[in-house]
Structure 1
Amino acid sequence: MPHLDVDGARLTYDDEGPRDGDATPLVFVHGWTANRHRWDHQTAHFSRTRRVVRLDLRGHGDSTGSGLPTIDDVAADVLALLDHLDIRRCVLIGHSMGGMTAQALTLAHPDRVERLVLVDSISRMAYNRGRALLMALSTRVPFKLFVAANIRRAFAPGYPREEIRAHIRASAATPREVVMTLYDAMRVFDVLDRVGEIRVPTLLVHGLHDIQLPVGQMLRMAAAWPDATVRVIDAGHELPVERPEQLTAALESFLDSGTPARVPQRRA
């Protein structure tokens, strides 16, 4: 597996698909406690016709390294990979925490992003009663129980239990320090007042039954982002694995729509 060493961490990534076409590369960023295989369906589909890159974030999946204190730090790792692969512009697609990372990278380096897709993600963390209780108990309950409670809530009712258990096992394999440090980073993430600065074509796609980051929070973000396209799909928080075909179709439609915005100029 190819990898990149960055500040003491080894980032594992996949770089697939043809390099000789005109299509802009797709770069997929997974969420908290997940890994690059969340994007298996999308990678298999799009890599037939265009370059597709996905990585395991620091401390996740096959990557090493400790937790990072801010989402901006996570975005810096993704930027390092883009530089390493000489990808000057990309379509950046992020799920959950990966969507927060994508927003941070786009705000800091607008010239590097041609289009932006946020899947089950928001610009400012807010907590309903159940999530606030989990947050309050996060340091008082056994780590595996904390992870299991969060992952179980991520899926819509009716999703196969054995598949949920497999996702719980994979998430619990993420080091505790990584999980809790990034949990704190998400808690303080807030760029809601800045999303209007993002001028690239943007798709906000969300699960109707998402109780981790409820659809109402995404719509609040959309109200501050008047040019964004909004799609709501009958699923929970884990759209890439709950409704992979529908998500892939939404991405395909978005990528085929219109022409890219002009290249934004980075602020001095």
Structure 2
Amino acid sequence: MPQLEVDGAALTYDDEGPRDSDAVPLVLIHGWTANRHRWDHQTAHFTETRRVIRLDLRGHGESSGAGARTIEALAEDVLALLDHLKVDRFVPVGHSMGGMIAQTIALAHPERVERMVLVNSIGRMTYSRGRGLLMGVSTLVPFKLFVAANIQRAFAPGYPREQVRAYIKASADTPREVVMTVYGAMRAFDVLDRVGEIRTPTLLVHGYHDIQLPVAQMLRMARAYPDAVVRIIDAGHELPVEKPVELTSALDRFLTHQDPKPQHG
């Protein structure tokens, strides 16, 4: 797999699909402790008609590097890769933390963002009492237990247990320093009061059963977006793998302008 050296990290990425397509390239950005393969279904679908770029963020998957201390640093990595590939305008599609990165890019470089898709993502992390307690003791419990507790609750009830266990193992293989440092970056992320500045058409697609980043928090954010379409899917936090067909269909409709304009008020 190709890699790009960026600020002490080797970023592994895929760059697939036709270069001569009129469609703006998609840039798929995964979430915390995940990797670019979260997007396998969407990649297989969209590379038939457009260029699709996806990467393992630093310290995740097949990319090396220490954990990023800010979401802005991760956004800079994504932009460095796109500059290397000579991609100017694009559509960022971000899942969870990847959506935080997408919003950061849209705020800093609106001229480069054609459209934007946020999957199970929000502008500010707020916590239930139970979530706050888990976070408070996160540095005290064994690392694998911390990861398992977070990943287990990311899936909606009824998702196959053996698949959940596989995702827990993959997440626990991410270096502890990366997991905890990036976790702190997510906790510090806050653009909720600025999302009204994002003028690009945006799709907010969320799992109804998401207890990591509850749908109510996304809807609070959606009210501030000037041009947003909202889709709620019967899934948990891991939409790209829980309901890949439904998510891909929602993306397809949005990217081909088949969604109606949102109604405000």
Structure 2 counterpart of 1:265: none
Shift of 1:258: 6.6
1:230 aligns with 2:230: yes
Q: How does 1:1-268 map to 2 (within 5 A)?
A: 1-257=1-257
SS at match of 1:186: helix
Query: TM-score, with normalisation over the residues of structure 2?
Result: 0.96
Cα drift, residue 146 of structure 1: 0.1
Distance (Å, rounded) in 2 between the aligned partners of 1:137 and 1:95: 26
Cα offset for 1:129? 1.8
After the TM superposition, which parts of structure 1 deviate over 4 Å for at least 4 consecutive aligned residues? none
RMSD: 1.0
Gaps of 5+ in 1: 260-268
Count residues with an aligned counterpart. Answer: 259
Identity of aligned residues (%): 75
Identify the residue that residue 266 of structure 1 maps to in structure 2: none
Secondary structure of the 1:177 match is helix
Q: Secondary structure at the match of 2:92?
A: strand
Deviation string 1:216-253 (CA, Å, 9 cap, x unpaired) is 00000011114210000000000000000000000000
Q: Which letter does structure 2 place at the counterpart of 1:234?
A: D
Q: Quote the offset at 1:72 in angstroms.
A: 0.5
Q: Is the 2:199–2:226 Cα contact (8 Å) retained in structure 1?
A: no
Distance of 1:62 and 1:69 partners within structure 2: 19
Find the residue that maps to 2:20 and give its secondary structure.
coil
Deviations 1:43-94 (A, max 9, x none): 0000011100000000000000001111001100000011010000001100
Q: Distance in 1 between matches of 2:83 and 2:258?
A: 27
Contact 2:199–2:225 (CA<8 Å) still a contact in 1? Answer: no
Moved more, 146-155 or 128-137: 128-137
**Over residues 79-122 of structure 1, what are the superposed CA-to-partner deviations in whole Å (9 max), with x where a residue is unaligned?**
00110100000011000000000000111111111000000000
Q: How far apart in 1 are the matches of 2:50 and 2:224?
A: 32
Structure 2 unaligned segments of length 5 or more: list them: 260-265
